[in-house]
Amino acid sequence: MIPILTLAFLAAGCYKEIRIPTEDKDPVLVMNAQMDNLEETHVVNLSRSLLSKVEPFPGARVSVYVNGTLTAEAMEMVEEYAWNRTAYAFKATFKPGDEVRIEATKDAFNASATVRVPPAVAVASVDTSSVRMTYLDDTSDYLQLKVRFKDLPGDSWYGVDHRVSDLWEYLDEEGNVIPEYTAVSNSFGSIETGYDPVISEGSGKTSGSDFAALLSVENTYNCFSDSPIAGKECTLRVMAYPWNVYLNDFRYGLLVPEAMQDDPDPWSILVKLPVRVRRECFFRLRSLDFTQYHYLKALNNLETFGTEMNFLVEPTTLPCNVEGGLGFVGIETITEFPYARFEREYEPMDTIYY
């Protein structure tokens, strides 16, 4: 045993010196964008990456080609907090099968990305029911969605989420809607996919007391491959939580109707008015190409096993589809449909809950 320990000690004492550069050299253009077929306005973020930092990249020309035809020139956005990138916005509509190419140029920098819009998914039916779920001693009321669809031909990749749209109607003393104060807010609500074996790709929760679920990787982006359902019809089981606990955005002036944008204190007006909030919830089945699926999975691993708490974690490689630079540009095709509607009215000064 002693010779073996001696050899191990001697091996541990041998090392190779690795010199890590500390000077900024050869800056690289970074392009990132996540787009879909439902939005008309899209945003491309550009940065200049150095060894020690990432900087905004203003003044670039960003051209968008759809099927080889110049479709839009993105305009640089003015942002109060740009942080480490510059945003460029453009308007365009994408349909399945389109080939989209985005080119960014400035001085010696020239980067581009080409993406093909994936096919749409046809949803056959949706059933909803109220359920009460208990997991790790936490009990919550959910709306269960059973979504049936047929797998697309060939290898396919998907994702799910849900969107919440709130229509805010402020009322006068007679109960009539004040049109200029009407506004709409959109957000993404909480969704539970861990109980579905297809979405969780076999590593999800199986029961409220399943200790193994504590050690599983949370599927943050709810994306999955069609490996277990290839060529078949599938029913997904998703738990949605369509009720936000506290809806203060418009009532307290954090987000104000367009007619009140110049008002220095919109809260003093809105809090004194009755308000009716109409909520519509949309389930979204997303069709992805393999590169974007791989990118979201890698990003999920990076966020789950980050180096902040564990310096022994192995490096995560993020896919890059930008030529002449770094970054990722993705377009997904979304099939969206409403699954629930709610309406509540609140008196002046009421705290707004759902």
Q: Which CATH architecture has domain 28-116?
A: Sandwich (2.60)
Q: Is 63 helix (H, G, I), strand (E, B) or coil?
A: strand
User: At residue 290, what are phi and psi to the nearest 5 degrees?
Assistant: -60, -40
- Give the pair of three-digit tokens for residue 313: 């974690």
Q: Which phi-psi region, left, alpha or beta, contains residue 137 (left: φ > 0; alpha: ψ -120 to 50)?
A: left
Q: What is the pLDDT of residue 241?
A: 83
Euclidean distance between CA atoms 284 and 335, whole angstroms: 6
Euclidean distance between CA atoms 200 and 189, whole angstroms: 19
Q: What are the residue ranges in the chain where pLDDT is below 70?
A: 1-16, 18-24, 135-136, 203-217, 244-254, 305-316, 353-354
DSSP codes joined into one string, 50-78: -SS-EEE--S-EEEEEETTEEEEEEEEP-
Nearest one of 37, 49, 30, 27 to 88, comparing CA atoms: 30
- State the distance between the two ends of the chain, measured CA to CA, in whole angstroms: 69
| Torsion 145-150-151-157 (CA) sign | negative
Q: Which residue has the tokens 């490096």?
A: 315
Q: Which residue has the tokens 């797998």?
A: 151
* Spatial CB neighbours of 257, under 8 Å, sequence gap ≥ 6: 168, 170, 180, 181, 182, 183, 250, 266
Q: What is the pLDDT of residue 211?
A: 47
- Give the pair of three-digit tokens for residue 38: 């439902």
Parse the chain into domains and list their residue ranges.
28-116, 123-346
Q: What is the pLDDT of residue 15?
A: 60
The one-character DSSP state at 198 is T
DSSP-derived pairing of the beta strands 28-36 and 326-346: parallel
- Give the pair of three-digit tokens for residue 44: 């491309």
Euclidean distance between CA atoms 301 and 100, whole angstroms: 28
152-184 burial: b if 16+ Cβ within 10 Å, else e? beeebbbbbbbbbebebbbbeeeeeeeeebbbe
Contact 303, 220 (CB under 8 A): yes
Q: What is the pLDDT of residue 212?
A: 45
A 10 A CB-CB count for 307 gives 11
Q: Is 195 helix (H, G, I), strand (E, B) or coil?
A: coil
